[in-house]
Structure 1
Amino acid sequence: MKKSTLLLAGALSLAPVAAFAHPHVFIEARLEVVAGADGNIQELRNVWRFDEVFSSSVLMDFDKNTNLKLDPDELTQVGDTVRDSLVDYDYYVNMSFNGKTIKVNKPDTIHVDYKDGQLLMFFAVAPAEPMPMKGNKLSFGIYDPTLYTSVDFPTDADMVTIGDAFQGCKHEVVRPDPDEVIAENKATLTDAFFKDPTGTTMSKLFATRVDIQC
């Protein structure tokens, strides 16, 4: 596998951990939490825009016919690589139902585009089990436990809810302060986390998320 294929297979973390992490890939993201007519969470729609440096490395490695662009079949190959490789990481979705972690199903496809020198990915994932909204507390975020990739939501408007079932629900975009997280969790944030955060799940404490109470 080529270098960028390996990066796509293992990299794609959230910005607040920058004090400890050394991200090599940077993404500006949008997350849409969609409610179904039955009052359950239906899916999470993701839009990822990659930084120019990483995007150019993908272009160089996947541009088989060397025409300096990614043709439809090459874009499909990029999407398939990510779809197959991130399944074990739940596509970096951090989703909970009353505090219980909920896994996601593999998306049907990951759509990829290349515009203005940047790689774009569009995909939706569905919860692996029902998530009824009424009377429950839900939380949604995205983080890379390896801290190799920084995923940033530029504004609170980039984390939104869609669907009539959200009427009457309260939602809040939470951007944890790293210093406060450390102070509140110093008993559990061990030396092992700071030396190798990839071996823990503590990085999610620093991740931007949207909390919903219905």
Structure 2
Amino acid sequence: MKKALFLALAVAFPSLAHAHPHVFAEARLEAISDDQGNISELRNVWRFDEVFSSSVLMDFDSNRNLKLDPDEAAVVGQTVKDSLAEYGYYMNIAADGKEVKITPPDVINVLYQDGKLLMFFILKPEEPLPVKGRITLGVWDPTFYTSIDFVHDEDMATEGKAVSACKRTVLRPDPDEVLAQNQDKLTAAFFDDPAGTNMSKLFAVQLELSC
């Protein structure tokens, strides 16, 4: 119970009073299209910062051998899978402005290597998602507690004949511009709003596909 509570609090259920991220991950997203011309898979890889990674190791390394054995890693993966279901695993998709729902991953795979926690998993659209019109893809924590960062444009990738034919644009908001445009909103009441905020989306890197 203690283990589940730790990761749920640290990753998925932070206080909305926090005005900046406390957990950082470098990410890669691959949008895969199938032979029917639909986006069939969204492959995610997250590599977490050393501070958070070491905290997870301390809490889940039950035999104290300073690594995550397969059974311990499986517990971490299941805990994250359960905790992030409410947040759609941070995956945000829109097709011509309409939200696209996703199904939970079969498993969240976890490794601890080189002092960092690595998670990788596959999400799929709940309904067939034809590769047409304008599709936007992004990964962000709506609570603004975890920062999911795509360091390079190539970290938002496409694979498959249909999706590779689309015009691909990586949208990177300028943080200074975002703050300047929203400075009147950034009050304590804004961050304490129990309904949540849209700050994560304002700062999020997104992939736009014009097909």
TM-score by length of 1: 0.86
| Residues 106 and 98 of structure 1: CA distance in aligned 2, closer, same or farther (over 3 Å) | same
- Counterpart in 1 of 2:8? 9
Q: Which of 46, 58, 61 does residue 60 from structure 1 map onto?
A: 58
Listed one character per residue, the Cα deviations across residues 180-209 of structure 1 (whole Å, up to 9, x for unaligned) are 34566679x575774337733522122100
- Counterpart in 2 of 1:33? 31
Listed one character per residue, the Cα deviations across residues 62-105 of structure 1 (whole Å, up to 9, x for unaligned) are 11111111111000000000011111100001110100111210
Shift of 1:127: 1.0
- Counterpart in 2 of 1:150? 147
- Counterpart in 1 of 2:119? 121
**Take 1:9 and 1:184, find their aligned partners in 2: how far apart are those partners?**
33
TM-score by length of 2: 0.88
Shift of 1:168: 2.9
What code does the residue aligned with 2:198 have? M
**Take 1:33 and 1:56, find their aligned partners in 2: how far apart are those partners?**
30
| Residues 86 and 165 of structure 1: CA distance in aligned 2, closer, same or farther (over 3 Å) | same
What code does the residue aligned with 2:73 have? L
Q: Secondary structure at the match of 1:126?
A: strand
- Counterpart in 1 of 2:160? 163
**Take 2:26 and 2:54, find their aligned partners in 1: how far apart are those partners?**
16
Contact 1:32 1:161 in 2 (8 A): yes
Contact 1:147 1:198 in 2 (8 A): no
Q: Secondary structure at the match of 2:56?
A: helix
- Counterpart in 2 of 1:43? 41
**Take 2:23 and 2:6, find their aligned partners in 1: how far apart are those partners?**
9
Listed one character per residue, the Cα deviations across residues 112-160 of structure 1 (whole Å, up to 9, x for unaligned) are 00101111001010111221113x1100001111111111111101110
Q: What runs of 5+ residues in structure 2 fail to find an aligned partner?
A: 13-17
- Counterpart in 2 of 1:209? 206
Contact 1:95 1:138 in 2 (8 A): yes
**Take 1:150 and 1:200, find their aligned partners in 2: how far apart are those partners?**
16
Shift of 1:179: 3.8
**Take 1:89 and 1:194, find their aligned partners in 2: how far apart are those partners?**
20
Q: How many matched pairs? A: 205
Quote the sequence identity (%). 57
Contact 1:8 1:81 in 2 (8 A): yes
- Of residues 194-203 and 79-88 in structure 1, the stretch that sits farther from structure 2 once superposed is 194-203
What code does the residue aligned with 2:196 have? T
Q: Secondary structure at the match of 1:34?
A: strand
Shift of 1:22: 2.0
- Of residues 159-168 and 178-187 in structure 1, the stretch that sits farther from structure 2 once superposed is 178-187
| Residues 81 and 167 of structure 1: CA distance in aligned 2, closer, same or farther (over 3 Å) | closer
| Residues 190 and 102 of structure 1: CA distance in aligned 2, closer, same or farther (over 3 Å) | farther
Shift of 1:169: 1.1
Q: Secondary structure at the match of 1:132?
A: coil
